[in-house]
């Protein structure tokens, strides 16, 4: 057996964490041979709930879970962690956009960036789930200057999973037959779900999604809108934001970061933009990436239609605006944004 690694989940008493902790502790992210010490970070009013979560984790009798550390102290929560799932933040309610959470949530990510900087391992992999995820990841990284900025990412995997599921249903194939659907830009209603590079295997033959679907109006219309608005649709139905699917997506994201992607396959992650595909530099923008040895690389050389370029420009502009707003919320003289 390998040495245990320390993994922190923030918002550990919340609804996403309730599914996520179980999946991590079962070995679905870091592997079935990797023992885990789980750090559960939440805020003082949630201590009682956290105790219940600790009891339930014990009652699961999970062989890989060697220790659980519940805490409300970021110094304890982030101590020596190799992976961080930053879930803890306020979720939106019906009628809100995710960016409406910015002023409430951005300060949490400043504090957590500072704590990661001081206490986490320098090669920690950080996944931000709390919304607005892209801008929170940017803020978090800017307050953790001793950790490489490549180690910070925002979750758009839920959008990728939603988009992949829509295409599989449209073509009438299992999910596993569909690959390389891309989410560009922000985890918001301006994101661009792009099936243009997607592949699908039908009756043993692999073809492009564009060919298999053969319906441009759908791929540019209701497919895009359904994925863009899926989070709001779940809130309208459940009166709470998505949790089970968000936890699954967080596992998929970290799993692929940790273990790599298959040759020829790419996944979408919000990562620091280098200006690829005319995106604004130095915002956290979702790109297709390939991953090897725990390092992601933006897939280069894809040909984008004018329709796609226009969508990328809209979502890039929103990310730039969110960054400016985050700066105005935070003390810009202190921030490195």
Ligand X SMILES: NC(=O)c1ccc[n+]([C@@H]2O[C@H](COP(=O)([O-])OP(=O)(O)OC[C@H]3O[C@@H](n4cnc5c(N)ncnc54)[C@H](O)[C@@H]3O)[C@@H](O)[C@H]2O)c1
Strands 178-179 and 199-202: antiparallel
State phi, psi for 272 to the nearest 5 degrees: -60, 130
Choose the binding region for ligand LMR from 51-59, 142-150, 168-176, 226-234 (rule: CB under 6 A). Answer: 226-234
Interface residue with ligand X among 31, 43, 175, 214 (CB under 6 A) is 43
User: Binding to ligand LMR by residue 15, rule CB under 6 A?
Assistant: no
Least spacing, CB of residue 43 vs ligand X, in Å: 5
Q: How far is the CB of 293 from ligand X (least distance, A)?
A: 25
**3 state DSSP class of 181:** coil
162-198 in b/e form (b: 16+ CB < 10 A) is bbbbbbbebbebeeebbbbbbbbbbbbbbbbbbbbbb
Binding to ligand LMR by CB under 6 A, coded x per residue (else -) over 81-120, reads ----------xx-----x----------------------
Q: Which is nearer to ligand X, 9 or 200 (CB)?
A: 9
Window of 61-69, 130-138, 166-174, 256-264 that interacts with ligand X by CB under 6 A: 130-138
Q: Is 276 within 8 Å of 160 (Cβ atoms)?
A: no
Q: Which does 234 bind (CB under 5 to 8 A by kind): ligand LMR, ligand X, none?
A: ligand LMR
Q: How far apart are CA 25 and CA 17, in angstroms?
A: 12
List residues forming the annotated binding site for substrate.
92, 98, 131, 162
CA 170 to CA 198: how far, in whole Å? 13
139-178 residues near ligand LMR, rule: CB under 6 A: 158
Coil, strand or helix at 186: coil
Query: What is the rounded distance in angstroms from the CA atom of residue 73 to the CA atom of residue 177?
Result: 44
CB 153, CB 271: distance < 8 Å: yes
Q: Report the DSSP pairing between strands 65-71 and 83-86.
A: unpaired
Do you find a cis peptide bond into 284, omega within 30 degrees of 0?
A: no
Residues 174-193: x/- map of binding to ligand X (CB under 6 A)? -------------x------
Q: Looking at beta carbons only, is 15 or 180 nearer to ligand LMR?
A: 15
Quote the least distance from Cβ 158 to ligand LMR, whole Å.
6
Q: CB burial class (10 A; 0-12, 13-18, 19+) of residue 27?
A: middle
Please indicate whether residue 187 is annotated as part of the active site.
yes
Q: Does 246 bind ligand X (CB under 6 A)?
A: yes
Hey, is 256 helix, strand or coil?
Answer: helix
Burial class (CB in 10 A: 0-12, 13-18, 19+), 96: middle
- Cα–Cα distance measured from residue 207 to residue 326, given in angstroms and rounded to the nearest whole number: 43
| Contacts of residue 82, Cβ cutoff 8 Å, sequence gap at least 6 | 5, 6, 7, 121, 123, 124, 125
Q: Which stretch binds ligand LMR (CB under 6 A): 67-75, 227-235, 265-273, 310-318?
A: 227-235
Show contacts with ligand LMR in window 232-251 (CB under 6 A): 232, 234, 241-242
Q: Using the rule CB under 6 A, which residue among 81, 140, 144, 155 binds ligand X?
A: 155
Q: Is 13 in the site for ligand X (CB under 6 A)?
A: yes
Question: CB 98 → ligand X: shortest distance, Å?
Answer: 6
Residue list for the binding site for NAD(+): 42, 105, 129-131
Q: Pick from ligand LMR, ligand X, none: which does 8 bind, CB < 5 to 8 A by kind?
A: none
Is residue 91 within the footprint of ligand X (CB under 6 A)?
yes
Judged by beta carbon, residue 97 or residue 282, the one nearer ligand X is: 97
**Which positions lie near ligand X, rule CB under 6 A?**
10-11, 13-16, 41-43, 46, 87-92, 108, 129-131, 133, 155, 158, 187, 241-243, 246
What is the set of active-site residues?
187
């Amino acid at each position: 057996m390998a040495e245990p690694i320390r993994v922190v989940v923030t918002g550990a008493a919340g609804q996403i964490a309730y599914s996520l902790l179980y999946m991590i502790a079962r070995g679905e992210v870091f592997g079935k041979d990797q023992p885990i010490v789980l750090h559960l970070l939440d805020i003082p009013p949630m201590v009682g709930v956290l105790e219940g979560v600790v009891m339930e984790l014990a009652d699961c009798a999970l062989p890989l879970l060697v220790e659980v550390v519940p805490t409300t102290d970021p110094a304890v929560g982030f101590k020596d962690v190799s992976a961080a799932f930053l879930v803890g933040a306020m979720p939106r309610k019906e009628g809100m956009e995710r960016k409406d959470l910015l002023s409430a949530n951005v300060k949490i990510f400043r504090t957590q960036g500072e704590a990661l900087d001081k206490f986490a391992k320098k090669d920690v992999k950080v996944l931000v789930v709390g919304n607005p995820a892209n801008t929170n990841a940017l803020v978090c990284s800017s307050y953790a200057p001793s950790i490489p900025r490549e180690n910070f990412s925002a979750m758009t995997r839920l959008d990728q999973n939603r988009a992949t599921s829509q295409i599989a249903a449209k073509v009438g194939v299992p999910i596993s037959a569909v690959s390389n659907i891309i989410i560009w830009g922000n985890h918001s209603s301006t994101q661009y779900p792009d099936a243009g590079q997607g592949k699908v295997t039908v009756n043993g033959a692999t073809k492009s999604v564009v060919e298999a679907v053969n319906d441009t109006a759908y791929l540019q219309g209701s497919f895009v809108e359904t994925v863009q608005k899926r989070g709001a649709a779940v809130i309208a139905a459940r009166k709470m934001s998505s949790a089970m699917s968000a936890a699954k997506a967080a596992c998929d994201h970290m799993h692929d970061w940790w273990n790599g992607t298959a040759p020829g396959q790419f996944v979408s992650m919000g990562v620091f933009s280098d200006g690829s595909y005319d995106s604004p530099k130095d915002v956290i923008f979702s790109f297709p990436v390939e991953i090897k040895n725990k390092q992601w690389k933006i897939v280069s050389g894809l040909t984008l239609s004018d329709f796609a370029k226009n969508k990328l420009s809209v979502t890039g502009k929103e990310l730039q605006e969110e960054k400016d707003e985050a700066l105005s919320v935070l003390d810009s003289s202190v921030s490195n944004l």
